[in-house]
Each structure stands twice: as structure tokens, then as C-alpha cells.
Amino acid sequence: MSHTVAVHDLRVGMYVHLDLGWMAHPFPLSSFRISSAEQIATIRGLGLHKLRWVPERSEAPPTASAAPANGATAAPAAPVESAEQAAARQRGERLAAQRAAAQLCERQFVEAGRAWREANDAVLAAPQQARAGSEALAGALLDKLLVDGEVCIRLLSSGSGDRASAHALNVAVIALLMGRSFGLERDEMMDLGVGALMHDVGKHDVADRLRHPDDCFSSAELNAYREHVAAGVGHGRRMGLAPGALLVLAQHHEHADGSGFPMKLGSDRMSTAARIVSLVNRYDNLCNPAQLSRALTPHEALSMLFAQSRSKYDATILNAFIRMMGVYPAGSVVQLTDDRYAMVMSVNSSRPLKPRVLVHDPKTPRDDALFVNLEGMPDLGIRRSLNPNKLPPAALEFLSPRPRVSYFFEPAAVDERQPASEVCA
């Protein structure tokens, strides 16, 4: 018989069940006996509040506050800690949970990229298999997104995967978060996810050198590039994609003011999913262009969309996008109000103005630095965004901003409070 236990009451020796779907946790099995403090930190990093455990298969009960009312022996009292020992232990636990959450996001991103490549590679020879693969991946992302609680947009620490898979995943992750904010139904979210993942499928039919638009293209070359939209719709039909996903493939380069292609549709003739993907696709292409020398920082990309391209995107969707991503999206390099330099690591989509940041601290190795949750720091904020090449050399080496920006999502931490002593220089 299973009982419910709060994640902060977990102990080594407890046999637990993780009621999560594929890609939602890094363990080989969903039911297992906890064997280390690192596993507890990993579970806490999943964003769960409670989970099931089985006393009969456990070697230890939870902490006394969560012991089941079945006569189980309470845990022995822990040795008395000094204030310094307690602070060191708590910091170690937070650092372990932070590392576990980062490893989980990286692993899931790699697995999702592999699944996307398998689906994309099957488009020409096995279109039905490609549809099944893309729908399975969209469903897995959706299951992860629709867990209870708030969700953060997480910056990945490495540029894992090739540009095509990273672009598809970036667009899908942010588009699904947008769909969630608009309250789309599950079938609409599935169409949005599949459409976002496969929006560039028509590039199978375009020569490699023409797959990304360039200012130097001739009219013929530009037309050849734009043909990927019609080719993508053809592939989508052979795959048997749902009508809502097909509309994303057909309309992901249309603009609200009718200046897009291939049909020059206005916002009123575009589906909601297509309006979302059109915007997110442009944002990611600004951050991650084919030529890295032309890349904008996430903050610069957001500013350009708002200042120079407002008429091209549905106003409601653009405003919701800016609110969700925050003024300083994950990946932005910033200077804090106390003059220290930092990089935005994750943004809570419901409270975007107070992100979690990695702060340059010359006294702490980068791998041992705890993220600072600005939400819990009323006297600390972001003063301005910076281009990485404006950073002092020591701060640039510490923060190590990547040339490409990759995103994934993770549950917001249950308790991100942080003692002021750990964030003040």
C-alpha cells in the first residue's frame, strides 16, 4: 500500500513512485528505492511537491513530520548542527538540486533532439513513421509542460545538438508555453507542438545553401528558399498531419500586416498556432542565425521585435510573448543594480521580471555558484542588458555565454528562497 510524502521529507532508503511520463525524470525506472542524497536532490529538482512511497518496500521512513499513521517507527533524531554546519549543509543541498535540475534539462533536450532527428529523417522514406514520431515527441513535451505548478524557461549550458534540431525544439518549447498561457485545449496544443516541431520540414527539398535567407540572395534564390513552405505542406499531407498542424506549416512565414509569404495573409486569416509560431520562429532566428556573427542577444532580439517589427505580429501575441519571456529573456547578459555582472539562467513565465541569474563572483568557482533568485531580493535588480563583448575579461570567462541559445522548460523550484548572505559580495 502506498502513502503520500512531501519531497522535503524524503530520506535515503524510501521506496518511491514517480508518476511522470517519458522524459520527465532521469531515472531508469519510475519506481525505485532511494539510495543517495543526490537522488533526493534530483527528485526535488523535478518540481514535484509530493509523491507516493511504499513503507513495506522501504528501508527507512520519511522524516517524522511525514511518517504514516500506521505505527511506523519515526526516524531517529538528527545530531544537533551548529549554525555554520546547517548553512553549509543547506547550501550543499541547494547546489546539488541546482546541478540535478541542469543535468535533467540537458538530458531531456538531447533526447528530444534525437527524437526530432529520427522523425525528420523519416519524412521522405516513411512519412507515417515521421508523423508518429513527431506526435510522440509533441505529446511528451506537452506532458512535461502540463504538470501542476509554474514553469520556467531554462537556458541550457551547452549548445547540444545541430542547429536544425535546436531550432525546432526552441520554437516548440516557447510556442507551447505561449499556448499554455492562452489556455489552448490539449488537441490545439498538440497541433501547435507538431506544427512547431515540423515547421521547416519543406527544407528537405531546398538546396543546403538556400535553406537560410541571405541579403545577398538573387530573386531566383529567394524564391527557391520560399518554396520550402509549399514543399512542407506537401510533406505534411503525406505524413497525415492534422489540419491544425498543417496550417502552421503553411502560415509560419505569414505576417499580421500581410507582408509575409507565400500567401500574404493578414492576422485575421492566420490560425492562432500559426501566429504564435511565426513570432517565435523569428525570435529564434534572430538569436541563432545561420551566421553566428549576426546573432543578437535575447534582449536585443526582443527589443528589435517590439521596436521595429510590431506591425508584423499579432499585438496580443507579441505582448504576451514579451510578458512571458521577460524584458531580459534567459541567455541575456546583464549588469545588476549593485554593478555586478550576471547572466539570466531561467525565467518564471508567470513572474518574468524577477529571473534567476548566475552572478559573477571571483571568489567562487563557476560550478559552485548558486543561482540568485531576484524574486527574493527586493533591493537587487537588473540595471541594463549588455552585449557579451562588453564584459570585462574575468566576467566573460566566468559567465561563458554561448554563441547559440538553447531553451528547455523545467518546473519552478518549490522553494527558491536564498539567504542574503549567499548573494551579497
pLDDT digits (tens, 9 = 90+) for 297-355: 999 999 999 998 889 999 999 999 999 998 899 999 999 999 999 999 999 877 787 89
- What pLDDT score was predicted for residue 388? 93
- What pLDDT score was predicted for residue 386? 94
CA distance 201 to 238: 12
- What pLDDT score was predicted for residue 67? 47
Q: What is the mean pLDDT of residues 240-268?
A: 97
Where are the alpha helices (H) located in 146-208, listed in sequence order?
Answer: 163-181, 186-197
Mean pLDDT of the chain, nearest integer: 88
- Work out the pLDDT band at 220, boundaries 50, 70, 90: very high
Whole-number percent of the chain with pLDDT over 90 = 59
| Amino acid letter, 267 | S
What is each CA distance from 404 to 186, 222, 401, in whole angstroms?
31, 25, 9
Which of 96-100, 155-159, 202-206, 208-212 has the lowest average pLDDT? Answer: 155-159
- What pLDDT score was predicted for residue 187? 96
- What pLDDT score was predicted for residue 419? 45
- What pLDDT score was predicted for residue 66? 47
- What pLDDT score was predicted for residue 108? 87
Between 186 and 148, the higher pLDDT residue: 186
Burial of 69 per CB tally in 10 Å (0-12, 13-18, 19+)? exposed
Q: What is the mean pLDDT of residues 377-385?
A: 92
Q: Is the pLDDT of residue 216 over 70?
A: yes
- For the ranges 24-33, 211-220, 270-279, the one whose mean pLDDT is highest: 270-279
Cis ω for the linkage preceding 28 (within 30 of 0): no
Question: Of all helices (H) and strands (E), which one includes residue 308?
Answer: helix 298-308
Q: Is the pLDDT of residue 86 over 90?
A: no
- What pLDDT score was predicted for residue 76? 53
Q: What is the mean pLDDT of residues 392-415?
A: 84
CA distance 109 to 117: 12
Q: What is the mean pLDDT of residues 112-126?
A: 96
Q: Is the pLDDT of residue 266 over 80?
A: yes
- What pLDDT score was predicted for residue 71? 47
pLDDT in tens, 46-62: 777 888 998 888 988 87
Which of 86-90, 127-131, 271-275, 280-284 has the lowest average pLDDT? Answer: 86-90
Q: Is the pLDDT of residue 74 over 70?
A: no
- Work out the pLDDT band at 144, boundaries 50, 70, 90: confident
Q: What domains can be seen in the chain, in order of their start residue?
A: 3-69 (no CATH), 101-146+158-325 (1.10.3210.10), 333-422 (no CATH)
For residue 56, report the phi and psi dihedrals to the nearest 5 degrees.
-65, -25
- What pLDDT score was predicted for residue 148? 55
- What pLDDT score was predicted for residue 331? 94
Burial of 279 per CB tally in 10 Å (0-12, 13-18, 19+)? buried
- Work out the pLDDT band at 415, boundaries 50, 70, 90: very low
Whole-number percent of the chain with pLDDT over 70 = 90
Helix, strand, coil shares of the chain as percentages rounded to 5? 50, 10, 40
Q: Is the pLDDT of residue 82 over 90?
A: no
Q: What is the mean pLDDT of residues 133-156?
A: 85
Query: Could you tell me which of 204, 174, 175, 203 has the C-alpha nearest to residue 191?
Result: 175
Q: Is-contact 66 6, C-beta < 8 A?
A: yes
Between 165 and 409, the higher pLDDT residue: 165
| Bridge partner residues of 333 (DSSP) | 343, 386
- What pLDDT score was predicted for residue 69? 46
